[in-house]
Homo-oligomer: A and B are copies of this chain.
C-alpha cells in the first residue's frame, strides 16, 4: 500500500503535503517524499523511514519552495526496500516531471520487458518507472495526451498524482481499486489525497471522490476533468474498508468506522458466543468488536493494551521484526481477564502467527476460554492490486480448513464472517456498485500477466 497527496495553490504547500502525509502514515512507513514546484522548477526531498523522521528538520521546507506540491508515503509492495524506490519519482521529462503512485500494475513485468527491448533503462524496480517510460515514449504531443496514452496501456490499480512545474495531474484507474479524494482549502487551493482524513488534518473540505477512470488537471486555469477511458465496472477494494483505511475516513460515501461496526454486528449474528467479555485486537479490531459486543449485549473491554511507541504490525517488511513487534506491542490486563470467557475480535486473519501469540498470551494471563471471531471471510488469495498480502503459501486460510486454523491458533472456537455477510455490511447504504473481494473469493477482476511476485525484479541493494 501507499498514500499520495497533492497540494495546489496554497502557501507553504510542502508543509501542507507533509501534514497530509502524516495523516496517511498508516498507508506506508518505509519511505516518504515530497516534490514541490515554485512554478519554474521542481524540488525534491525524500528519505527512508517515517514522515516525521524524513521531514523532521524544519529547514527541509526551505528547500521545498512554492505553492504546489505532491507527496507520497511508501510501503514496499513492488520494488525492493531501498532509497532509490522512495517516491515521488522525478525525471527530466520536459521541464521536470514527478509522480507518486498508490496501487500495483498487473502488466508491469510485460511492459518493462517490452520497454527494455526498445532500449529503455530502468534505475528502480518499481511499477511507477514503467508508467514514466510509457509517458516519455508516447507519440502524442501534449503532456496530457501522453499521460493518457500511457495510462491506457497499463492494467491494474493506480491512484496517481503527477506534477510538472506548471501543472498537477491526478487520476484513478477505470475500476477504481484505490481511493483518491478531492478537497479545497479555505483560501481556495486544491488538495488531492488518498483518504479524507488527510483533508481534515489540513482543514480542507471534502469535495468529492475522483471517479474511476477520471483524470484531473489543475493549473492556473483551475481544475479540468477528463474521462478518457471507457466504463468497465467497479472494483473498489473491500479491504480498504476492513483494515487499511483509517476509521475516521469517509471512503466512497461511507464512514469506515461505521462499516466496521456493522461488520461486527453481522459477525455477532453469524458467529455469536456466550462469554463474559468482548476484547478487540487493538487497534484494527476495535470498531468491529464494539459492534459485536453491542449487538450481543456483552461487555466490551480493552483487555489487550497496545504500546503506542511501536508501529502497525502488518506493515513491516521482514517476518523477524513482525514477530518481535507482537511481543513489544500488546500486553494483556491480567486482573481483568483472569478466569474469564473471552471473545477476541480481529479485522482479518492472514498468517495466523500473530493471532496464535495473542491466544497464548491470553491463556498465560489466566483467561478461561478464548473464542476467536474474525470480522472478514477467510483470506484465501494474495492481492495483485496493491495490498501487501503474503504469497498463497503463507496464507493460512489458503491451505487449511477453518477448524484447522482454530487448532493452529489455539482458540477454543473460531468464527469467520461470511462473504455475503461482509458485502451486506459494506453495501448497507453504499453508493459503490461493485467491490473487489478477490483475496476472499479468488474472483480477480483483472488478470495478472504472470503470477510471480514482482519483488523478484529487485537487482540492486542500496
Binding site for B on A (CB under 8 A): 19, 22-23, 25-26, 29, 41-45, 50-52, 63, 89-93, 95-96, 116, 118-125, 132-133, 136-138, 197, 200-201, 246-248, 250, 254-255, 257-258, 283, 286-287, 290, 294, 299-302, 305, 307-312, 327-328, 331-336, 457, 459-462
Question: Provided the pairs A43-B461, A309-B25, A309-B50 are in contact, do residues A119 and B136 lie with their beta carbons within 8 angstroms?
Answer: yes
- Enumerate chain B residues within 8 angstroms of A336, measured Cβ to Cβ: 255, 257-258
**Which of B136, B286, B333 touches A257 (beta carbons < 8 Å)?**
B333
Task: Give the complex CA separation of A52 and B287 in angstroms.
Answer: 29
Q: B307 touching A460 by the CB < 8 A rule?
A: no
CB distance from A309 to the nearest CB of B (A): 5
- Chain B: CB-nearest residue to A305: B248
Q: B43 touching A460 by the CB < 8 A rule?
A: yes
- Enumerate chain B residues within 8 angstroms of A50, measured Cβ to Cβ: 309
Q: B138 touching A335 by the CB < 8 A rule?
A: no
Q: A90 touching B197 by the CB < 8 A rule?
A: no
Q: A461 touching B63 by the CB < 8 A rule?
A: yes
CB distance from A34 to the nearest CB of B (A): 12
Q: B90 touching A460 by the CB < 8 A rule?
A: yes
**Which of B125, B257, B328 touches A201 (beta carbons < 8 Å)?**
B328
Q: List 18 A-B contacts (CB under 8 A).
A: A22-B310, A25-B309, A26-B308, A44-B460, A52-B309, A63-B461, A91-B122, A92-B116, A92-B122, A93-B121, A93-B122, A120-B121, A121-B136, A246-B331, A254-B335, A290-B302, A300-B300, A308-B312
Question: Provided the pairs A334-B250, A460-B42 are in contact, do residues A22 and B309 lie with their beta carbons within 8 angstroms?
Answer: yes
- Enumerate chain B residues within 8 angstroms of A43, measured Cβ to Cβ: 460-461
Q: A119 touching B133 by the CB < 8 A rule?
A: yes
Q: B136 touching A247 by the CB < 8 A rule?
A: no
Specify the main secondary structure of chain A where it touches its partner.
Answer: mixed
- Among A23, A29, A247, A309, which residue has the most Cβ atoms of chain B within 10 A? A309
Q: B121 touching A331 by the CB < 8 A rule?
A: no
CB distance from A174 to the nearest CB of B (A): 24
Question: Provided the pairs A116-B136, A119-B137 are in contact, do residues A461 and B44 lie with their beta carbons within 8 angstroms?
Answer: yes
- Enumerate chain B residues within 8 angstroms of A247, measured Cβ to Cβ: 302, 305, 333
Q: A91 touching B121 by the CB < 8 A rule?
A: yes
Task: Give the complex CA separation of A453 and B307 in angstroms.
Answer: 32
- Enumerate chain B residues within 8 angstroms of A294, measured Cβ to Cβ: 299
**Which of B25, B119, B305, B312 touches A138 (beta carbons < 8 Å)?**
B119
Task: Give the complex CA separation of A386 and B137 in angstroms.
Answer: 31
Task: Give the complex CA separation of A174 and B96 in angstroms.
Answer: 34
Task: Give the complex CA separation of A248 and B365 in angstroms.
Answer: 11
User: What 3 pairs between A and B have smallest CB-CB spacing?
Assistant: A119-B137, A255-B335, A92-B122
- Enumerate chain B residues within 8 angstroms of A120, measured Cβ to Cβ: 119-121, 136
- Chain B: CB-nearest residue to A287: B302
- Enumerate chain B residues within 8 angstroms of A23, measured Cβ to Cβ: 307, 328, 331
Q: B255 touching A333 by the CB < 8 A rule?
A: yes
- Enumerate chain B residues within 8 angstroms of A332, measured Cβ to Cβ: 200, 248
Question: Provided the pairs A91-B123, A328-B201 are in contact, do residues A308 and B334 lie with their beta carbons within 8 angstroms?
Answer: no
Task: Give the complex CA separation of A455 and B320 in angstroms.
Answer: 42
